[in-house]
Amino acid sequence: RSKEEGRGIFRFFQEEMNLRLLKRKALEADLRRALAEGELRLHYQPQVSTDGLRLVGAEALIRWQHPVRGDIRPDQFIPLAEETGLIVPIGDWVMRTACRQAAGWPELRRIAVNVSPVQFRQPGFVAKVRETLAESGLAASRLELEITESILLNDTEEMLAILAELRALGVSIAMDDFGTGYSSLGYLRKFRFDKIKIDRSFVRNLSGGSDSAAIIRAVLGMSHALGIRSNAEGVEEAEQMALLGQEGCEEAQGFLFGRPMPAEEFAAVIAAHGTGGHCQAVERWPK
């Protein structure tokens, strides 16, 4: 390969990298602006009990209402927010907004908030949660923090200590996307999560006799033995719900019961069902 050719290839890569960096910088600046200008929103998705199909809680899910690009899904900006540290002010905003909102919905038993590993590792995270609860007037028992097992990958002992401090505040801890990480079982001995959220990928393929059914059965067997509640994510079909109920899964969440929706819409769901009635789509559901 000639020297000239080598230089050409090098220049090509450099241009490619510069372009990528530019795009990233532009998105970062745009996200920073979005936070300042109030383009971020929270949507709320119902969580129901499999036994009785009662509304038992909601998960807060972030949305970016971009003036030009329209609604942007979290998968498209949360990773960048994590890389740049923007997730810290964004996460603060999410926590504050969800707690205030839930404080205004006394009939709602519980609000679940996703916490990024980056946020979790910030010094003072526990104090911040305590302050947010105090400021919003939300009882700690009504807040559930959803974490992923990647939080426990490094500095495990330190991370477990933070979880214990959070638990001492009275908030509950849910393990999100269970089954997709590396060490799903080992840490369950070290920390008793309040809830396991079975990842959507297992629910999606759920039908009699499938591998996913066997895995879900095993996860439920284990969570029951440990006294941990389970929530199945991404329930879209009545048949999936029937199987989950049979296996003793306590809670479900998914399009079958409601998509993530704006606060005003979710307020109507609470008004109709929050005091013990069945959850919307569920009315079609045979008992």
Tell me the β-bridge partners of 49: 251
Pairing outcome for strands 229-232 and 251-252? parallel
How many residues sit in the footprint of Mg ion (CB under 5 A)?
A: 5
Q: How far apart are CA 82 and CA 73, in angstroms?
A: 15
- Least Å from the CB of residue 75 to Mg ion: 8
Q: How far apart are CA 274 and CA 278, in angstroms?
A: 8
Q: Considering CB distances under 5 to 8 angstroms, the limit depending on partner class, which of Mg ion, ligand C2E, none binds residue 10?
A: none
Q: Are residues 283 and 256 in contact, defined by beta-carbon separation less than 8 angstroms?
A: no
Site for ligand C2E in 32-71 (CB under 6 A): 45, 61-62
- Least Å from the CB of residue 59 to ligand C2E: 6
Which residue number, 62 or 278, has a Cβ lying nearer to Mg ion?
A: 62
Which residue number, 1 or 284, has a Cβ lying nearer to ligand C2E?
A: 284
- Least Å from the CB of residue 24 to Mg ion: 22
Does 159 interact with ligand C2E (rule: CB under 6 A)? Answer: no
Q: How far apart are CA 188 and CA 110, in angstroms?
A: 23
Q: Are residues 230 and 195 in contact, defined by beta-carbon separation less than 8 angstroms?
A: yes
Q: Specify the stretch interacting with Mg ion by CB under 5 A; choose among 37-45, 49-57, 187-195, 226-234.
A: 226-234
Site for Mg ion in 173-192 (CB under 5 A): 176-177
Q: Are residues 193 and 159 in contact, defined by beta-carbon separation less than 8 angstroms?
A: no
The count of other CB atoms within 10 Å of the CB of residue 287 is 6
Site for ligand C2E in 173-232 (CB under 6 A): 176-177, 200
3-state DSSP call for residue 103?
Answer: helix
Site for ligand C2E in 77-96 (CB under 6 A): 78, 91, 94
Q: Exposed, middle or buried: residue 215 (CB in 10 Å: 0-12, 13-18, 19+)?
A: middle
Per CB under 5 A, residues contacting Mg ion are: 114, 146, 176-177, 233
Per CB under 6 A, residues contacting ligand C2E are: 45, 61-62, 73-75, 78, 91, 94, 114, 116, 146, 176-177, 200, 233-236, 253-255, 260
